[in-house]
Amino acid sequence: MSATANLLQQLCQYPSTSLLFRHSKLSKKGRAVMAGSYLVPKMVMYPIPCFYKCMQSTSYEAVVQGSYVPSADASQKTEAKEKASTTAETVGAFQKLPMVMPSVDILYSALRKAKRVSPTKGIANIAKRERNRGAKQLDALMKELAIPLRTYIEDFPNKKYLHPYEKSLVELTLGDGNYEEVLGKVEALRKKVVSVGKEHASICAKSLSKREAGERLSEGMKKLEEIFLREGKVVDELLNIAKILRAMPVVDLETPTLCLVGAPNVGKSSLVRLLSTGKPEICNYPFTTRGILMGHITFSYQNFQVTDTPGLLRRHDEDRNNLEKLTLAVLSHLPTAVLYVHDLSGECGTSPSDQFVIYKEIRERFSNHLWLDVLSKCDLLEESPVVYVTEDVNCDDYELAKYRKMGPDGALRVSVKSEMGLDELKSRVHKLLGSQFMKINGNQEKLEVCG
């Protein structure tokens, strides 16, 4: 076999691209062969990977099956996102929610874009051109409606991967199961839009005349519009959910947090305003605080968090309302120090006896939390304790009788109105948060050692 034949056989095994020859170096004799002589490579040539097919295979699949169907890369990205969510339970997921457009805006934007789609150039036959235009417009409308829905489904976090605190916020704020139900309806709407859109695009593509293509295009457009108008309200529900969740306060798990706890209307909100940048509503009726309110304190160049929580009543957990459960969720799932507020003045509406029972239960349940007791509204206290008509004055419980007079042992007596004890309160709070900071850092060091 001649040298020329040998080399030609070798070259046939390489991809025939200009890239191959651009990077190969031939001798003068080799270049002469290109003019009709023979080829002798100056250096050994190694195969160059032909990666074009690999690069284009996923996008081609998306075009054939419709861009509303996740490609292989998109599926892998979603799986990686879910895997990352399972390994790191961090708060702040609600601030990453996508911006949801109103359903009407999605629909009319999709209609405008679809109607601007023109037929493929170069089709001379009028009937073929019209059915091509109709099929393309229906396909475009379907994608413009389905793609935003798919984005919402992918970008709203799966509840089971949320931090326990944020999972509790979802359940207690939106109602148990409502979040998943709305996302399920959005997915059902997306599937229906895709199914109907593909069906009518296929029917339109089989039209035999210009008139028939126009009728089938109009019919398909009308059908998709009707579906979205009738069932698109679920997108507006998702929009409201996003607004509610995005407004939830973000708690930094690594920042020391002071949580104010107590019965309703005992003066927690007034103390939050005094201690931090938080500005909760202050009114003289129970359950003024209708959610978790957040403020911040800066002390010795260190930033701290302060939360105001809804008041707790004397009852079993199964009888508590969602506001009370929010308070318990904060204490259960966040590394907080507790500032427990007591009011023995008779103004809060909860008797000292009931406050005593609530206090003992919460103190025992969350005994691992750093703790500070505060007796509020002390300017209203008289020498004799306030006794409600529902209370047993002759009760032999010494601990309860002592609580009615002085509150719990070591409680700090304060009054926002007369400013009594406020300086000492701020000093004690700063020390408490400093201890909380040391506790959090100690736990982190233990986790690093274990890891």
Q: Which domain CATH number covers 271?
A: 3.40.50.300
| The domain boundary residue, chosen from 204, 227, 246 | 246
Q: Which residue has the higher pLDDT, 100 or 89?
A: 100
267 and 240: one domain?
A: no
Which range has the worst mean pLDDT, 67-76, 265-274, 397-406? 67-76
109: in domain? yes
160: in domain? yes
Alpha carbon 136 to its chain centroid, in Å, reads 35
In the predicted structure, residue 46 carries a pLDDT above the cut 70: no
Of the spans 278-292, 304-318, 357-371, 389-403, which averages the highest pLDDT? 357-371
Q: Which residue has the tokens 């060091």?
A: 445
Q: What pLDDT score was predicted for residue 64? A: 35
71: in domain? no
17: in domain? no
Segment 193-221 mean pLDDT: 96
* SS3 assignment, position 340: strand
307 and 431: one domain?
A: yes
In the predicted structure, residue 384 carries a pLDDT above the cut 90: no
- For residue range 335-348, list pLDDT tens digits in order: 899 999 999 988 88
239 and 316: one domain?
A: no
Segment 268-281 mean pLDDT: 75
Q: Do 375 and 412 meet the contact criterion of CB atoms below 8 Å apart? A: yes
266: tokens are 């005992």
63: in domain? no
The amino acid sitting at 212 is E
In the predicted structure, residue 317 carries a pLDDT above the cut 80: yes
Q: What pLDDT score was predicted for residue 354? A: 92
Q: Across the chain, what does the average pLDDT equal?
A: 79
Q: Is 261 exposed, middle or buried (0-12, 13-18, 19+ CB in 10 A)?
A: buried
320 and 441: one domain?
A: yes
Q: Do 117 and 176 meet the contact criterion of CB atoms below 8 Å apart? A: no
338: in domain? yes
Q: What pLDDT score was predicted for residue 37? A: 40
194 and 341: one domain?
A: no
Of the spans 39-48, 161-170, 272-281, which averages the highest pLDDT? 161-170
77: in domain? no
Nearest residue to 145 via CA among 55, 232, 44, 215: 232
Strand runs (DSSP E) across 193-349, as ranges?
257-262, 293-299, 302-308, 336-342
In the predicted structure, residue 77 carries a pLDDT above the cut 70: no
| The domain boundary residue, chosen from 246, 278, 296 | 246
| The domain boundary residue, chosen from 246, 265, 283 | 246
The CA distance from 332 to 164, in Å, is 9
Strands 293-299, 412-413: pairing kind: unpaired
Nearest residue to 345 via CA among 428, 262, 258, 429: 262
Of the spans 32-41, 51-60, 343-352, 367-376, which averages the highest pLDDT? 367-376
194 and 268: one domain?
A: no
285 and 184: one domain?
A: no
263 and 305: one domain?
A: yes
In the predicted structure, residue 290 carries a pLDDT above the cut 60: no
In the predicted structure, residue 153 carries a pLDDT above the cut 60: yes
Q: What pLDDT score was predicted for residue 229? A: 96
Q: What pLDDT score was predicted for residue 7? A: 52
Q: Which residue has the tokens 């399972």?
A: 86
| Burial profile 70-91: b = 16 or more Cβ within 10 angstroms, e = fewer | ebeeeeeeeeeeeeebeeebeb
172 and 268: one domain?
A: no
385 and 356: one domain?
A: yes
Domain extent at residue 399: 257-450
230 and 298: one domain?
A: no
Query: How many folded domains does the chain comprise?
Result: 2
Q: Do 295 and 277 meet the contact criterion of CB atoms below 8 Å apart? A: yes
Q: What pLDDT score was predicted for residue 41? A: 44
In the predicted structure, residue 87 carries a pLDDT above the cut 60: no
Segment 312-319 mean pLDDT: 92
Confidence of residue 311 (pLDDT cuts 50, 70, 90): very high
20: tokens are 């191959």
320 and 354: one domain?
A: yes
54: in domain? no
Q: What pLDDT score was predicted for residue 2? A: 56
Query: Tell me, what CATH number does 133's domain have?
Result: 1.20.120.1190
Radius of gyration from C-alpha coordinates of the chain: 35
Q: What pLDDT score was predicted for residue 346? A: 81
- For residue range 124-136, list pLDDT tens digits in order: 999 999 999 999 9
Give the predicted TM-score (pTM) of the model.
0.70
